[in-house]
Chains A and B, each alone.
Chain A
Amino acid sequence: MTQQIFRDHETDLAHRAKWWSSRIAIYGALILWAVICLFPIYWTLTTSFKLAPDVMKGNMIPWVDFTPQWKGWEAIGMSPEALQRDSTVRAEFLKRFTNSTVIALSASTLAVLLGSLAAYGLSRFQYRFGFMKNDDISFFFLSQLILPPVVLALPFLVLYKELALLDTRIGLILLYTLTVLPIVIWIMKDQFSTIPTELEEAAMVDGLGIWGAFFTIILPIALPGMVAAFILSLVLTWNEYFFAALLTSTHANTLPVMVASQTGSQGISWWSMAALSFAAILPLIIIGVLLERFIIKGMAAGAVK
């Protein structure tokens, strides 16, 4: 028979209980919010494999209460079966997908290019453009963020009509570059100001010019920041709907416009809408999961100084 020698003191026990309850509360809240965030994505993915009765009965779990079918993906020509034959819906979908990809990638590239150069210049040199000094120029760039798209939309509509840029990819690329440029400049200015100027000074002593020093020394160091800015721009341009809806009609439509036009038609074929929506969000979900730390870095850049 053993006798317990060491006992937990009552206050310690209370402490343990408190610790456990706080753990449970924290994880409970975390899991609840994770469900809130992930359920719509799960719902869209599973609905794209459902048939009408499954939707109406509210079946949720594949293989348990419904059998997954390719019906939804067939509607955009992306089921394994449909992939083997030609389909007009797939061509349509791929055209929109390509448009979105090309426009988002080129606009982000252009914005990162222009924005990084401007941010570097502003963080290193004294400028005077007329009455504007460095701070005024920075403010001028950042103030573009306030400009609501709706102010630019109608003048651009008329201008693009005159310039035959309506419904072209170039037109959208230019506008998207403009909308993400302030964000890129913000992130990159923050990035460059953390790099000590001694680096360029040393490089210039070794005989490099300003641009040489920028490209060989500074750019590689600032690369993570540029990736962050690029990805953030990509997210914004890929998802943009307002300009795309106003300025494109048949040739340069992006995916969001296609999704929106399908939502409007009231015949609720949930499976095909779900497939289309999921196809539209999938690229960014992949980017989000793989490159999460860059996105967080980009958004945190402006917050903490």
Chain B
Amino acid sequence: MSSAEQLHVVTSDEISPARIRLGRLMIWASAALLALVALAQVAQSTGRAEFGFTTWRPTLYAYCLWATALCWAQVVIRGERGKRTLFVLPAALFVVSLTVFPLLFGLVIAFSSWNLSNPAGRSFNGAANLVQMWNDPFYWNALGNMVWYVLAIVAEYAIAFSLALLLNAQIRARKFFRVAFLLPLMLSPVAVSWMIGKSMLEARFGPISRLARWLGVDNPAFFETAWMAKTTIMVMDAWTFIPFMMIMLLAGLQAIPKELTEAAKVDGARGWKAFWEVTFPLMLPVSVTAILIRIIFKLKLADVVINVTSGGPGGATDTVTSFIFREYRERSNVGYGTMLAMVYLVLIVIFMTVLMKWAARYARPRT
């Protein structure tokens, strides 16, 4: 991923001690201001003093000021080298303040009993949320569903690969087909939930139900039984995301050097054999990347489930995200919901790490 080529610049910066002192002053003064404002706000929220703050906004503004001063001071203190840091620092600060801080805060929430509709507010309750989670069959059920949803990627991959092969063949109107195949990816999952889930699959008037009846199914019902509902959700999600894998695989196919396929042809490889012994092994690295990214997106699956089945029938289509969404929407249970999310995050990190380690062996191009 990292490029070997890097820019080496030698600069002779003469930075006066006074300038360095100014830079340090900028950082520390703004940090002191931030600490002061934050302390004042903490004092008010714990009831020790009254400053007339209504929200935590002042702390936010002080934080922004500090972040700006930190970036600016880089140039003041370190000259040209500071200017280089300035490329990465804003993005890094942005991500750190928007993920690391909320995650730490989330950990605090996760170990507390906190119901937003309860006026008593937050109280620390140790591992009680964990115990509740352990005994919550619906959470385990949602996790189990995620396994099935992830496994469905195999089928999606097979379809996406064949579509990519089709688009890579000698065909006319390639651009039309490419645009048409891409369009499902552009549609909002919520709109898709209505377009397909609520109207086209509607039991009486939906065109797909009509088609099913015409094909001889007596009472087409797509969300009645557990497995049928799960499959329908899988199909709808696949419909939106197959183009995504297809495009990555198509790019991979187009990057295969012509000489290789021609040499294989000369050697007598045709049809299936050429595919299995030449194209497929060459496509392994791209396939692994595409599947990994697809898994990441699949683990976030929620919109369709929330809007079409809201987890039903009996939790058969629930994903972890949609389950936590309802836990909050119906019970305002922030503490328990956060604990579930945190456990999910830990599971995902472990799963993805193992998967990436395992995939790294296959993703290396064979030479």
Interface residues of A (CB under 8 A from B): 26-27, 29-30, 33-34, 36-41, 43-44, 47, 55-56, 58, 60, 114-115, 117-118, 120-127, 129, 134-135, 137-138, 140-141, 144-159, 162-164, 174-175, 177-178, 181, 185, 189, 193, 196-197, 200-201, 204, 209-211, 214, 235, 238-239, 241-242, 245-246, 255-257, 259-260, 263, 268, 270, 273-274, 277, 280-281, 284-285, 287-289, 292, 295-296, 299-300, 302-305
Contacts and interface: CB of A to CB of B under 8 A. Distances in A.
Contacts of B188: 238-239, 241, 255-256, 259, 280-281, 284
B334 A158 contact: yes
Contact of B195 (A40, A127, A242, A288): A40
B200 A154 contact: no
B290 A287 contact: no
Interface of B: 1-3, 5-7, 9, 54-57, 60, 80, 83-88, 90-92, 94-95, 98-99, 102-103, 105-106, 109, 162-163, 166, 169, 171, 175-196, 198-200, 202, 204-205, 207, 210, 239, 243-244, 247-252, 255, 286, 289-290, 293, 296, 299-300, 302-303, 306-307, 320-321, 324-325, 328, 334, 337-338, 341-342, 344-345, 348-349, 352
20 contacts: A41-B187, A43-B200, A58-B210, A120-B87, A122-B88, A146-B299, A147-B99, A151-B341, A151-B342, A152-B99, A155-B106, A163-B55, A178-B99, A193-B3, A200-B7, A239-B189, A255-B188, A263-B307, A270-B205, A288-B182
A224 to B, nearest CB: 15
Given A241-B188, A277-B195, A152 B102 contact: yes
Contact of B189 (A114, A159, A241): A241
Secondary structure at chain B's binding surface: helix, strand, loop or mixed?
helix
Contact of B199 (A47, A287, A288): A47
Contacts of B54: 164
B83 A242 contact: no
Contacts, number: 312
Contacts of A235: 185-186
Contacts of A242: 302-303, 306, 321, 325
B105 A159 contact: yes
A235 to B, nearest CB: 6
Given A44-B199, A201-B7, A289-B183, 5 more contacts: A47-B199, A149-B300, A150-B320, A159-B102, A296-B251
Contacts of B249: 303
A266 B23 CA distance: 62
Contacts of B195: 40-41, 43-44, 274, 277
Secondary structure at chain A's binding surface: helix, strand, loop or mixed?
helix
A280 B194 CA distance: 12
B299 A259 contact: no
A115 B88 CA distance: 9
A157 B83 CA distance: 36
A153 to B, nearest CB: 7
Contacts of B94: 114, 177-178, 181
A127 B2 contact: no
A124 B190 CA distance: 41
Given A43-B200, A158-B334, A181-B91, A239 B187 contact: yes
Contact of B191 (A114, A196, A211, A280): A280
Contacts of A150: 300, 302, 320-321, 324-325, 341, 344
B3 A123 contact: yes
B194 A263 contact: yes
B6 A125 contact: yes
Contacts of A152: 99, 102-103, 106
Contact of B91 (A47, A117, A147, A156): A117
B280 to A, nearest CB: 16
Given A34-B180, A177-B94, A162 B191 contact: no
B191 A125 contact: no
A126 B106 contact: no
In the A-B complex, the 10 residue pairs with the closest CB atoms: A121-B87, A300-B251, A118-B91, A239-B188, A193-B3, A303-B248, A155-B106, A164-B55, A284-B186, A256-B190
Contacts of A255: 188
